Structure 1
Amino acid sequence: MAKTVDAATMRQINKRYVTEYIYTRAPISRIDISTMTGLNKATVSSLVDELISEQFVVETGYGTSNGGRKPVMLQFNAKAGYCIGVDVQITHMKTVLTDIMGNIVYKRIRPMDAAPDHLTQAVLEELLLDEIDRAAAQAPPSTHGIIGAGIALPGIVNFKAGCAFYLPNIEIHNWDVVGALSNVFSFPIFIDNDGNCGAWSEYRNRHVDNLVFVNVGIGIGTGIIVGGRLYRGANGIAGEYGHTTISAIGVPCACGNYGCWEQYASEQALLRYLSEGEEVPESLELSPNLVALAVEEATQRATYRRAFETVGQYLGIGIANIVNALNPDLVVVGGTMAQGAHLFESQIAAVLKHRAMSFNKQVPVAFADEDTIVVGAARMPVWNTILQSPLSET
């Protein structure tokens, strides 16, 4: 049975569309919004005036005329409010405060004890509470204050339920993250898989409709954009390419499988290749600085260069599997391992040339900024409160 929508609800739906167009396509004029959305000019003008009165949108001057009066251009007001983003990794927690457009105004990296049994659910909750509170205290005065906080987690996450089903390298199960934190803060809390946060952030930056983001740290996770929408799958856990098998009888993985991709192309793998080649200095261990230290050593030591090359070869194998399955426009490699991209990107290219099929051989591989994931996390409150965009997932 078809449902009727009352005028107030329809106005809210239209307002979200107009808000999203200004947020994603500014500078933009009222007439451009009317043309793109199909809404009549009077409706667009009324909604824009409402957004201006709420201080979410500002007029920035005149655009170019195609005949007649010059259009007044609109821009989202970046300082209308602030968002907090947290990227939880096994060795560290990165927290940022951004303005409403994702520009970082505060950043802090907190090392964590990744030893077995040290990084528990209780410890993580305490750290998250402290880091979010610290970031909130750094927010400048604004009309809307803190819009919310988004948390990127390395594992199987149900973003709708606010629950982390399984964080494989920490052995945390069925963690109600949002429930644990929401009672403490006056603003909403959102969570998602770190690969999804990275994918959405890269999509916003690059405007490529079919994209795969590969987050390479201690493990590997991916986020998938298909047709401009974040693909989650039937149960919201799509993108676990790090746990696809590339060696039938291979290295045991924390997930219980053997031969998972992340055991051959991650920080864990890099450290193992180094230890197999020569004695590893005490300073080189699973830590926030592992890749940076290894990159520095690679300028002088062939063993380190060979270790990065091996990682690159295995990254190439996994990426070839991805492009053969999905045929994306672009693959973006991010996470801590991207700091060493110059040492292994040629190996990725060589493997793709050999293993990818047909047009997939030409799929470009780019590398992400170090803050891609945490900024993607910080953007979650905007998409889920101000925009509530129907275009953001599938």
Structure 2
Amino acid sequence: MAKTVDAATMRQINKKYVTEMIYNQGPLSRIDISQVTGLNKATVSSLVDELIAEQFVQEIGLGTSSGGRKPVMLKINSSAGFCIGVDVQITHMKTVLADLTGGIVYKRIRPMDATHGRLSQGQLEEMIIEEIDRATHQAPPSCHGILGAGIALPGIVNYRTGSAFYLPNIEIENWDVIGALSQSFSFPIFIDNDGNCGAWSLYRERQERNLVFVNVGIGIGTGIVVNGQLYRGSNGIAGEFGHTSIAAMGVVCACGSYGCWEQYASEQALLRYLRESEDVPEALELSPNLVSLAVEQAATQSGYQRAFRTLGQYLGVGIANIINALNPGLVVIGGTIAQAASLFLPEVEYVIHHRAMATNKHVALTVAHEDAIVVGAAQLPIAHTLLQSPLAEV
């Protein structure tokens, strides 16, 4: 039996679609919105007037016209409220306070060591609560205050239930994240996989409707955008390319398998390549500064250069597999490894050229800015409260 939608519900759906259009594509005029959505001009004007009264949207002046009256242009009011983003990685936690368009007004990086269960679930919860609370007190006055906080996690996450099934390198399982954190705050908490957060942030930034974000840190995670929406798969865990096998009997992985891609193209792999090199005397460890220190040494030492080239070759193998499988319009490499792009990117491009098929050889490849994931996390509250489900399953 078909479900009926009452007028009030339909108006809220249309309002979110209008907000989403302005959020992603603004500045736009009312006539632009009407033409794209198919809503009549009176409905669009009424919805826009409501958004202006709520101070989520503002008029910014006149646009150009091909004839007749110049249209009034609209954009999101970035200072109407603020969102908090938290990017939980294995060696550090990054927290930002961002305005409604992703502009960062506060940022803090907190070193930590969560490898191999060294940080308990309770300790991690305390850290997140402390960092969100600290960011809350940095918020400037605004009409809507803090809309919410988004948390990016490195593992298998159910964004609908707010729980983390498994964070492989941290060794935390079945964690009710929102249940543990929400009672500490008056605003809502949202979670997602870090790859998804990065992919969504980059989609908004670049407006490429089919892209893959490859997050390379201690592990590898990916986020996939298909036709302007995150692709999650049937159970919400699509994108675990870091745990696809590239060596049938290779290095054992934290997930329990062997030869996983992240064991050959991540910070873990970089550390192993450096330790295997005869001309790298330092006793190196996984840390927030590993990549930056290795980049500095690579300026003069060949062992560091070789390690980055090897990493780039394996990174290229995995990306070529992704490109051949998905044929995206853009692949973006992010995470801590991105700061070493000049040392590994030529190898990645070389491997893709030889392993990708047909036009896949020419898929655009670039590097993300350092805050892509945490900005994406900060946009979760906006996506879940103001917009029309752009993060739902595809």
TM (norm. structure 2) is: 0.98
> Residue in 2 aligned with 1:31?
31
1:128 alignment partner in structure 2: 128
Find the residue that maps to 2:286 and give its secondary structure. Answer: coil
1:288 matched to which residue of 2? Answer: 288
Kindly indicate whether residue 256 of structure 2 is the aligned counterpart of residue 256 of structure 1: yes
Aligned to 1:322: 322
Correspondence 1:218-233 to 2 at 5 A: 218-233=218-233
Is the 2:81–2:145 contact (alpha carbons within 8 Å) kept by the matching residues of 1?
A: yes
In structure 2, runs of 5+ residues without a counterpart are: none
Deviation of 1:281 (Å): 1.8
Conservation of the 8 A alpha-carbon contact between 2:91 and 2:115: no
Residue 71 of structure 2 corresponds to 71
> Paired residue for 1:339?
339
Name the aligned partner's letter for residue 30 of structure 1. Answer: R
The SS at the match of 2:113 is coil
Query: How far, CA to CA, are the matches of 2:195 and 2:347 in structure 1?
Result: 23
SS of residue in 1 equivalent to 2:174? strand
Q: What residue number does 2:168 align with?
A: 168
2:246–2:261 CA contact under 8 A, matched in 1: yes
Structure 1 stretch 262-271 or stretch 354-363: which is displaced more? 354-363
> How far does the alpha carbon of each residue in 1:355-379 deviate from its partner, in whole angstroms, 9 at most, with x for none?
1111111112110000000000000
- Structure 1, gaps ≥5 residues long: none
Q: Per the alignment, do residues 317 and 169 of structure 1 end up closer, same or farther by CA in structure 2, a change over 3 Å counting?
A: same
Q: Secondary structure at the match of 1:264?
A: helix
Q: 2:236–2:393: 8 Å Cα contact kept in structure 1?
A: no
Question: Separation in 1 of the partners of 2:387 and 2:309?
Answer: 43
Paired with 2:19 and 2:228, the residues of 1 have a C-alpha distance of: 18
What is the match of residue 14 of structure 1? 14
Tell me how large the CA RMSD over aligned residues is: 1.1
Query: Alpha-carbon deviations, 1:248-283, whole Å to 9, x = none?
Result: 11111000001100000000000100000034424x
1:192 alignment partner, SS class: strand
Residue pairs, 1:1-394, within 5 angstroms = 1-278=1-278, 279-282=280-283, 284-390=284-390, 393-394=393-394
Tell me the distance in 2 between the aligned counterparts of 1:28 and 1:168: 43
SS in 1 for 2:238: coil
Give the count of matched residue pairs.
393
Task: Specify the code of the residue in structure 2 equivalent to 1:235.
Answer: N
Residue type at the aligned position of 1:255:
C
Give deviations 1:112-156, integer Å, cap 9, x for gaps: 023543211111100000000000110001000000000000000
8 A Cα contact 1:228 1:391, kept in partner: no
Q: Which moves more between the two structures, 106-115 or 331-340?
A: 106-115
2:354 maps to amino acid: H
In the alignment, residue 110 of structure 1 is paired with which amino acid? R
For the 8 Å contact 2:320–2:356, the answer to whether it is kept is yes
Query: Is the CA contact 1:17–1:389 (under 8 Å) kept in the aligned structure 2?
Result: no
**Are the equivalent residues in 1 in contact too, given 2:197–2:374 (CA < 8 A)?**
yes
Give the direction of change, closer, same or farther, for the CA distance of 1:309–1:122 in structure 2 (3 Å limit). same
TM superposition outliers: structure 1 runs of 4+ over 6 Å: none
Give the TM-score normalised by the residue count of structure 1.
0.98
8 A Cα contact 1:274 1:280, kept in partner: no
In the alignment, the residues of structure 1 paired with residue 346 and residue 116 of structure 2 have an alpha-carbon distance, to the nearest angstrom, of: 35
Matched-pair identity in %: 73
Contact in 1 for aligned 2:233/2:393 (Cα 8 Å): no
Q: Deviations over 1:174-220 (max 9, x none)?
A: 00001100111000000000000011111111111111100000000
Deviation at 1:393, TM superposition (A): 4.1
